[in-house]
Amino acid sequence: MSPDFTPALKLDLGATPPGTAESDQQQVADGDSTVHDVVIVGSGPAGYTAAIYTGRANLKPVVIAGSVTAGGDLMQTTEVENYPGFTDGIMGPELMATMQAQAERFGADVRYEDAVKLELDGEVKKITVEGGEVLHAKTVILATGSAYRELGLEDEKRLSGHGVSWCATCDGFFFKGQNIAVVGGGDSAIEEATFLTKFADKVTLIHRRDEFRASEIMQKRAFDDPKIEILWNKQVIGISGESKVQELSLEDTVTGDVSALPVTGLFVAIGSDPRTDLFKDQVELTPEGTVAVQGRSSKTTLPGVFAAGDVLDPTYRQAVTAAGSGCVAAIDVEHYLAEHSARAQDQDQLTAPSAAQRSPLPH
């Protein structure tokens, strides 16, 4: 069917009656749109953990997983060795498939769609997905993660797909027997470099400082690998090549000297930035660009809007911290809904012990 068939506009919910925060999922004025208890935007470890917890609390979470980004960054990794519970490690995509299955087991509705617009103020939040469908929710968990940082060089985009890459597991194969480079100094840069030695003859690891911020075990792997050469205090200032990467220009960050490094591939692993485009004008951000939350909670500056995972975390950014943060958001959502339904009941002059009875928390 033609996508034009999707109604361009659904009703404006401006006229939502007060007290919508009643019990279970309910119909709003237009009759074809449920007000969900919680919609989770994002499907990395934070999103799926939030879905597992809110699912177990019987809140029937809807997860807007993304059409091509479902599972988040771990879909592009190989072995995850530091996620607790897996003695021998687990492949990133397998871990995410497991988390998704676990969330679905508890009733999560995972949709392979992209959120294109969020309207987060007011009692009922609106989430517009690609194609125009609008979801309504009492609470939203922002778990949009982060996006790979680019070097910002003129030729980076032009040569992307022609030697410049952000995904070693996808593209290492194309560099069999070649000399390539990885730029970056964190765990992911070193993971990529060591992974790429399976294919390349030589991998030059370029870092702008004189020490890595990667973990000790990862650093040792790089130091011990005969195929990896490390260039300290160098930054990439240019990428050249007519139709594919041929050479990098490097600048010494101490002396300012410029040198050339002939390589056929460049893998960029210089970190990532929080993905806040959809809501940066609606909730407060920190100076680092992450979503600002109150203390150790997941509460953003808007009531009923919570954040989880890398999007609020400028520091730790691990699969396990993201998962923990998803759990925090889910519990905050439960408390928020319990308080709101209690308040709505008070307004309806209903008597007493409702708040405790209505708490969705398992005992």
- Identify whether 171 is a catalytic site residue: yes
Contact (CB, 8 A) for 235 and 253 = yes
- Taking alpha carbons only, the member of 22, 73, 52 closest to residue 330 is 52
Rounded-to-integer distance, Cα 79 and Cα 11, Å = 46
Nearer to other proteins, 171 or 313 (CB): 171
CA 45 to chain centre: 8
Tell me which amino acid residue 195 is. Answer: F
* Contact set with other proteins (CB under 8 A): 2-4, 66-71, 75-76, 92-93, 112, 114, 130, 160-167, 169-171, 173-175, 243-244, 265
- Taking alpha carbons only, the member of 100, 147, 138, 116 closest to residue 41 is 116
- Identify whether 24 is a catalytic site residue: no
Nearer to other proteins, 170 or 237 (CB): 170
Nearer to other proteins, 170 or 361 (CB): 170
Nearer to other proteins, 176 or 209 (CB): 176
In whole angstroms, the minimum distance from the beta carbon of 106 to other proteins comes to 24
In whole angstroms, the minimum distance from the beta carbon of 319 to other proteins comes to 15
Catalytic, out of 109, 167, 252, 273: 167
Which residues fall within 8 angstroms of residue 315, CB to CB, at 6 or more apart?
none
Nearer to other proteins, 68 or 352 (CB): 68
Contact (CB, 8 A) for 273 and 292 = no
Question: In this structure, what token pair is assigned to residue 278?
Answer: 């959809």
Catalytic, out of 73, 114, 171, 310: 171
In whole angstroms, the minimum distance from the beta carbon of 266 to other proteins comes to 10
- Identify whether 327 is a catalytic site residue: no
Contact (CB, 8 A) for 307 and 291 = yes
In whole angstroms, the minimum distance from the beta carbon of 123 to other proteins comes to 30
Catalytic, out of 24, 30, 121, 170: 170
Nearer to other proteins, 167 or 320 (CB): 167
In whole angstroms, the minimum distance from the beta carbon of 334 to other proteins comes to 31
Question: In this structure, what token pair is assigned to residue 279?
Answer: 């809501």
Nearer to other proteins, 173 or 223 (CB): 173
Active site positions, annotated: 167, 170-171
